[in-house]
Structure 1
């Protein structure tokens, strides 16, 4: 039966066209944005996971920035420690020279005094962003540097840190009026040769220097180990960040080859649906021939 009031063919063709237009709009949105899941309505599970992972990745990048600041502090402290070791070795050499009875010990002390001033200068200058690991009280708390960001199994998050025993490894406890006191180099700063200094005195000074060098070597090793850890953590953080980005991409990014193929197919379907709707609408006009 053909009805001029209800055209079921046109209704069916119109519904098909609406569905095609909706799918076409979705595909065009994916092509233009590059996202398969751009909002929660697209896929609640994937959107939730990707949002959390993106948040963690930003926190990880922030931790990497903080890691860079920590690396700068370690590099500054290590450079100071390395320079101080070189200067103390020079003092050691001067003391060995002073063991010769014919040497002018007052002149040697003049050189040692300048080297001691250099040690104070090194300790005072080893500051980064207002923090100096080379000048600190023996009772100072361990300093920390941020080295990572992790999400625990229970969903809680934590910023991880690495410690450095600044109180134990400081060259000086304080530097007053350009003169360092206390710390690893406290005894070295007390060396003072005179023409009356005996071989026993010089031997005692050499023992003090050796003790200081041994402690500085331990401190330098601690800084070196911390620097290595920071470098490894920085490399790991970069790889982890890339992995997180890749994981999010697999969840929410659109497959452009697939979407391109869909777009072409839907555009063809749209044209056919429009043609089909046109045919359905014209069928009712054929009723007029029955009244001729």
Structure 2
């Protein structure tokens, strides 16, 4: 049946053309955006996962920036520590040179003074983004003064989202200068005159460090010590000058300190407490400017030599510098290990970011080869659909021939 009101062929062709046009719009959107899932309406599940992972990837990018900042802080501290180690090596060399007979110790001291001032300059300059890991307020400071950290990673797990950090605590083992006391590696006080030893002493309930005279086992035997079966001193005449009735306490291998009981009348078996027998009158520091004297010293001196400096004092100074050098080397090694960890973490975060990008791409990215092929086919179908609709529309024109 032929009708001029209802053209079934044209309606079918138009419906097909609409479907082809819709498919073309979708394919063109994939081609133009490069995404197979560009919105939640395309695939809600994949879109949700991709959106969350893109957010995590942005967080990882921030972690990379934080790692870069942390690496800069550690690099700065390490560079400063490494330079300080070299300077302290030179100070040690100058002190060794001063032990030679006939050398001008005054001239050597002039060089040492310049090296000491260089240590201060290094410490003050080793600052990045307002943080200095070579000098800090160790004495009387708060946790904020000493607790440092570097952001290491961003983690999403069953417990939620968290940021992991690499912690680094500034302490007497890794800081060159204590800005509020004498706990730094270069301003720790040491007695270089009476070969003393530092012990923590509890006096009337108050415990503090005391630099006291050190005795060997041979010394305490000479002093008249009598040992019991366990190797402890049962009695002594203390005839070496430490004082009548003074006993000894063993604080290390072949190391004893003179002692008296805290409360002799309380019990004959009461623990003996170390007391200062021959207090040091002078403690020494590697710094250029001496700090206030500690509890058991009447003065604290910056390390220096003169014509009057004895061989014993020089030997003590060399030991002082060598001890500080050993501690500084350990501190530099720790900074180096943290720097290595940050480098590894930076590399890992970079790889993880690439993996997440790849995973997101597998979920939502369009296959451009497939999309281009589909677009070409749809364009052909569209051309054929238009021709089919044109033919269907022209079919009704044949009715006109019936009326001629």
- Report the TM-score, using the length of structure 1 for normalisation: 0.92
Which residue of 2 is the match for residue 125 of structure 1?
Answer: 125
- Spell out the pairing of 1:219-258 with structure 2 (5 A cutoff): 219-258=331-370
Which residue of 1 is the match for residue 232 of structure 2?
Answer: none
C-alpha RMSD of the superposition? 1.9
- Structure number with greater Rg is 2
Deviations 1:104-157 (A, max 9, x none): 222222211111111111111111111111111225432001122121234x22
Task: Report which of the two has the higher share of strand.
Answer: 2
Q: Distance in 2 between matches of 1:150 and 1:125?
A: 35
Match of 2:384 among 263, 269, 272: 272
Q: CA deviation at 1:182?
A: 4.5
Deviations 1:227-273 (A, max 9, x none): 10111111111111111111122222211111111111101111111
Which residue of 2 is the match for residue 188 of structure 1?
Answer: 286
Match of 1:153 among 141, 147, 158: 158
Q: 1:273 to 1:283 in 2, by over 3 A?
A: same
Q: CA deviation at 1:213?
A: 0.9
Which residue of 1 is the match for residue 167 of structure 2?
Answer: 163
Q: Distance in 2 between matches of 1:208 and 1:164?
A: 26
Q: CA deviation at 1:181?
A: 5.8
Q: CA deviation at 1:64?
A: 0.6
Deviations 1:195-236 (A, max 9, x none): 221111111111211211111111101100011011111111
Contact 2:136 2:146 in 1 (8 A): no
Task: Tell me the SS of whatever aligns to 2:146.
Answer: coil
Q: Distance in 1 between matches of 2:94 and 2:146?
A: 36
Q: CA deviation at 1:287?
A: 4.2
Q: CA deviation at 1:285?
A: 3.6
Q: CA deviation at 1:276?
A: 1.6
For the pair 1:43 / 2:141, whether they are aligned, the reply is no
Q: Distance in 1 between matches of 2:41 and 2:91?
A: 73
Q: Distance in 1 between matches of 2:386 and 2:306?
A: 108
Q: Distance in 2 between matches of 1:114 and 1:181?
A: 21
Worse-matched range after superposition: 84-93 or 186-195 = 186-195
Gaps of 5+ in 1: none
Contact 1:171 1:183 in 2 (8 A): yes
Task: Tell me the SS of whatever aligns to 1:102.
Answer: coil
Structure with higher RCO (Cα < 8 A, 6+ apart)? 1
